[in-house]
Each structure stands twice: as C-alpha cells, then as structure tokens.
Amino acid sequence: MEKKATQTLEEEHHIIQTVVGAMAALAENMDKGMAPEADTLRNLAEFMQVFADKCHHGKEEKILFPLLEAKGVPVNGCPLGILIHEHQSGRKLVAELAEAVEVYEKDSLKGHELLCASMRGLVNLYPNHIWKEDYLLFPMTDKILNEKEQQELIKRFELVEKDIGLDVHRRFEQLAATLAEKYR
Ligand SMILES: [Fe+2]
Ligand SMILES: [Fe+2]
C-alpha cells in the first residue's frame, strides 16, 4: 500500500514536536537565567514561521480542510473550526516570537520576558493541537478519502514543497535535529 497523505502530515508533526520540545527546554533554561544566542532564537522563529505555519499549516488549511469541507465535513465547530482557530492562535504567537527575537537582539533584558511568554504559549498550544490531528482529524480523513484521493493530495502537498524549496525542507529537518540535540 502506498503512503497516505495523512502519513506525510504526521511525519511533519514529529519534526514539529521535536522543535517544540526543544523550545520547552529552552524556555525552562531561560527561566533559570540562561541567555541563548540570538542565532538559535532566529532559527527557531524561522522554523515555526516557515516549516510549521506556512508549509505544514498551509497544506492543512489550504488543501486538506477545503477538501474535507467539500466532502461534507462542517467547517464550523469540531474538528475543523477548532483546528483553524488553533492555527490562528499559533500564527499570532509565532509572530510574537519573531518580534520578541528582534527585541532580544537589541535589548536582551526586555526581550527575555517576551520570548518566554511567546515560547510558553506555543509549548501550551502545539502538542494538544497535534494530538487532535493525529488522533481525530487524520483517522477521520483516512475514513473519508479513498486511495486515489490520498495520492492526489500527496501530489498537491508536493507542489507546496516545491514552492517553498525542497532544500528548505531538508534544512529545517536538520535544524530540528540540531535543536533537539542542543536542548533536551
Ligand atoms: Fe494543524
Ligand atoms: Fe498539523
């Protein structure tokens, strides 16, 4: 049996979870007074903005959710409405994280609080969001879509990857591994 589109999204979840785990450890270290390098923080913010939000949430929100909606899944309420709302909350927190990194580079003391707040918000949001998708959304999707529709979805996801750049995807995978290695 060929790989399902939902499996590729689940694999991306593992990569995102790795980074969110590193972010939790980083926030804890910062609570103890550690001052991380701006470079690490910039990479972290870029990963969350590009890999997690633009690429991964983009595939879900612009491709998968509309397809499910067309198949009769209500867009309001559970599960799609809730997931879309969480994507919006995540997007706001990620924008705050990127801003906090900029502040931190100019004034580490002022940036410290902002960084911790946005990272904690993301650490609270993401694991539960991913759980809902892995255990509710994807099993539901696998029930609704047939083999051919899953394969069509994969092709559309590949176009998103191409658009962002395959080397970019690989670079972020490497970055996730490096962050996990550094903060675990
Ligand atoms: Fe999502
Ligand atoms: Fe997801």
Set out the domains of the chain in order of their start, with CATH numbers. Answer: 5-182 (1.20.120.520)
How many Å separate Cα 130 from the centre of its chain? 9
Q: Is the pTM of this model over 0.85?
A: yes
CA of 41 to the centre of ligand 2 (A): 22
CB 97, CB 45: distance < 8 Å: yes
CA of 9 to the centre of ligand 1 (A): 9
Residues 90-145: tens digit of each pLDDT? 999 999 999 999 999 999 999 999 999 999 999 999 999 999 999 999 999 999 99
CA of 60 to the centre of ligand 1 (A): 6
How many Cα atoms within 13 Å fall on the side-chain side of residue 65? 21
The string over 2-18, giving b where at least 16 C-beta atoms fall within 10 Å of a residue's C-beta and e elsewhere, is: eebbbebbeebbebbbb
d(CA 134, CA 60): 12
CA of 133 to the centre of ligand 1 (A): 7
CA of 144 to the centre of ligand 2 (A): 18
Residues 25-67: tens digit of each pLDDT? 999 999 999 999 999 999 999 999 999 999 999 999 999 999 9
CA of 57 to the centre of ligand 1 (A): 5
CA of 5 to the centre of ligand 1 (A): 14
d(CA 52, CA 148): 26
Query: Look-up: residue for tokens 């990127």?
Result: 98
